[in-house]
Amino acid sequence: QVQLVESGGGLVQAGGSLRLSCEASGNTASINVMGWFRQTPEKEREFVSMIGRVTGNTAYAESVKGRFTISRDVAKSTMYLQMDSLKPEDTAVYYCAADTRLAVTSQSSYWGQGTQVTVSS
């Protein structure tokens, strides 16, 4: 089993920055990939970004490319999402996910509790 705990959400003005963290515990060696999703009451959970735990290979949603940067610290079993040039449409609950397969999806096995990000205009 793997446990995920997010932190770093909050309220920020448009154009500002936030850094989210996701710390994994438990059987972290079984994790192949970690990532971020976000959800609002009006939308289904959507993919934001993911990173290979060992490879460091990354992928981003088109809506965040060039503004968000995903990274990880293998020794700390922690993943980060640096969010710059934030827009009001980035407002959502952000969820950390982990998977033993090649990618994180909405069907991934492990999820954090979510952290609220609110961007004011």
- pLDDT average per 10 residues of sequence, the chain (121 residues): 96 98 96 97 96 95 98 96 98 97 94 97 93
How far is CA 49 from each of CA 27, 71, 95, 106, rounded to the nearest angstrom? 22, 10, 11, 12
- Look at residues 18, 12, 17, 20 and name the one whose alpha carbon lies nearest to residue 71: 20
* pLDDT for position 38: 98
- Look at residues 35, 48, 44, 1 and name the one whose alpha carbon lies nearest to residue 104: 35
110 contacts 51 by C-beta, under 8 angstroms = no
* pLDDT for position 84: 98
